[in-house]
Structure 1
Amino acid sequence: MAVSIPATVETTVHATMDALTSAEKRAARTLLANYPTIGLAPVAEFGTAAGASAATVLRFISRLGFRSYPDFQRALRTELDERTKSPLQRSFEVPRQESERFLDRFFEQTAEIMRATAERIPASEFEAASRKLADSRNACHLAGGRFTDALAMYMEAHLRRARPGVRRLDGRIANRADQLLDIKAGDVVVLFDMRRYDDDLLETARQLKAARAFTILMTDEWISPISRFSKIVLPCRVSIDRIWDANTAMFALVEALIARTTELSWKTAESRIRVGD
């Protein structure tokens, strides 16, 4: 049975944007730019920040499907709780009956989150990310966090075969700061960020926005705060009923991007792969 990624308030805002009035859009953009903190403030404070009336904010909240402002704030607090959960907070007692079929059930769950991820990501967003990655007129940079930097390394190794100008940003902040000086407007940057989000990556994303880089964010279903500085956001389902999140869907998405990017840049990729072999 396929499992859909639960919609966050942020993703609901994006999905509803086209149906909003201009005043409601101001409230929406204010929320996205200050997510989720402004939504946890009193409605009058939210309205002042958005340059809109409290009534407009309440209409905006209603458009998102919430019956009241407290309901909206409860949803935001629930998201914050999920975002910050450690493996210890997600621990549970392993059912005895699963001992003989653990691997089967685990593979079933990872297959479900892969299907859910594919259903959630618009084909147009995936294609736009692939075309941006295939465009070798601008450099390509990648970086991840504690666990996801391995995905950035894997993606870098493959993209190097497909196109020039690919490098991974150093995990050490001092070295990364030096690398950021070389990033030019229009360069594409792929950032990986999962829940218990990386503050250093968030600051990197902020600097990339100021440098006018084109940031592609690979994140989980709760959406990293890096999204506010990103041009394309690709959310992956990672939550399963185990102690650890599963990055299976994100790894599959990385491989899909590698495959599509290689196809789109085949004239360049073919010669590079030939030399490498």
Structure 2
Amino acid sequence: MADYAEDERAVPLDGLSVEARIHDVMMELTAAEKRAARGLLGSYPTLGFAPVAEFAAVSGISSATVLRFVARLGYRSYPDFQRALREELDERSKSPLQRAEAAPPRADGDLHYLDRYMARMAANLSATAARIPISEFEALAARLAEGRGGCHLIGGRFTDAVAAYMEAHLRLVRPGVRRLDGRTATRADQLIDVRAGDIAVIFDVRRYDPQLLETARSLAGRRAFTVLVTDEWISPVSRHAKIVLPCLTETGSTWDANSALFTLVEAIIARTTELAWPAASRRIGSLEKG
């Protein structure tokens, strides 16, 4: 069981959201507990606010299994679990203005703002590396390196720049790479060309884009291999993703930071290029010759 703070908050000290904790422990759950996890993820977070008996009935398990599942996530009781869900929803929906108002005042004697900010980014990078399963990172890089099928990338208001950055590099390494248009109508036209087995990488951080959730649902319907790059609170797109790569973005100030997303993308690009080097080197060489 995880440690708890002295004020007995519902959220364990590791700071993970309920959804993030589910993804972290999924492989350790029993078959019945996995049904509880999938039931909750399929109707997240609504089912978590239902009484235990209703949660159990919807998931096709016993009430005792629901309570065991909650305990496996690190919560001491069902009310603690529900309280954590409410806190998570509040955190997910905070605007930049609300984050600024909630930021603690800087104590005298602290480091210069730039030093403190860079230290926070370094900590976010380390924590992101610890959160991401190596097996999932390697699986994505290997799949990209195969070069088969299409690779479709898309982000939201601030993360589309990360998608564009990944697209610009992957185009040099493998064929079939394209970024889906931000306009809904044009994106719908593009989705027609998505084939079963194509890779789709979606970038989505709080406050999550409902249009990206719809796009993820459409991609799942077309049997694309969907990958989600998200923040520590985990976008709802995760329910349609085969691989979820959470990055720490919280800065303790007005704006979240996408530094960890960019660094993760650079690591994916570097590893993919390494794995695909025989074909990638020929492709890069041809482009350089003009």
TM-score range (shorter-chain normalised) is over 0.9
- Could you say which residue in structure 1 is the equivalent of 2:269? 258
Query: Could you tell me which of 181, 203, 227 is aligned with 2:214?
Result: 203
Q: Normalized against structure 1, the TM-score is what?
A: 0.93
Computed over aligned residues only, the root mean square deviation of the Cα atoms, in angstroms, reads 1.8
- Could you say which residue in structure 2 is the equivalent of 1:101? 112
Q: Does 1:67 align with 2:76?
A: yes
- Could you say which residue in structure 1 is the equivalent of 2:6? none
- Could you say which residue in structure 2 is the equivalent of 1:87? 96
- Could you say which residue in structure 1 is the equivalent of 2:131? 120
Aligned-residue offset at 1:6? 2.6
Paired residues, number = 274
Q: Is the 8 A contact 2:22 2:73 kept in 1?
A: yes
Q: Is the 8 A contact 1:5 1:117 kept in 2?
A: no
Q: Does 1:52 align with 2:61?
A: yes
Is the alpha carbon distance of 1:42 and 1:164 closer, same or farther for their aligned partners in structure 2, counting shifts above 3 Å? Answer: same
- Could you say which residue in structure 2 is the equivalent of 1:176? 187
In structure 2, what residue type is equivalent to 1:55? A
Q: Is the 8 A contact 2:20 2:232 kept in 1?
A: no
Query: Could you tell me which of 95, 111, 131 is aligned with 2:122?
Result: 111
TM-superposition CA deviations, 1:241-262 (whole Å, max 9, x none): 1110011111110111111111
- Could you say which residue in structure 1 is the equivalent of 2:150? 139
Where do residues 164-243 of structure 1 align in structure 2 (5 Å cutoff)?
Answer: 164-243=175-254
Distance 1:36 1:51 in 2: 17
Distance 1:73 1:118 in 2: 29
Distance 2:64 2:179 in 1: 47
- Which secondary structure state, in structure 2, belongs to the residue aligned with residue 31 of structure 1? helix
Higher alpha-carbon deviation: 267-276 or 110-119 = 267-276
5+ long unaligned stretches in structure 2: 1-12
TM-superposition CA deviations, 1:227-249 (whole Å, max 9, x none): 11001110000001111001111
Query: Could you tell me which of 29, 37, 40 is aligned with 1:28?
Result: 37
Aligned-residue offset at 1:62? 2.1
- Could you say which residue in structure 2 is the equivalent of 1:42? 51
Q: Normalized against structure 2, the TM-score is what?
A: 0.89
Percent identity of paired positions between Structure 1 and Structure 2 = 62
Aligned-residue offset at 1:18? 4.0
Where do residues 8-23 of structure 1 align in structure 2 (5 Å cutoff)?
Answer: 8-23=17-32
Aligned-residue offset at 1:40? 1.1
Is the alpha carbon distance of 1:217 and 1:19 closer, same or farther for their aligned partners in structure 2, counting shifts above 3 Å? Answer: closer
Distance 1:170 1:16 in 2: 35
5+ long unaligned stretches in structure 1: none
Q: Is the 8 A contact 2:120 2:251 kept in 1?
A: yes
Query: Could you tell me which of 245, 248, 251 is aligned with 2:256?
Result: 245
- Which secondary structure state, in structure 2, belongs to the residue aligned with residue 189 of structure 1? strand
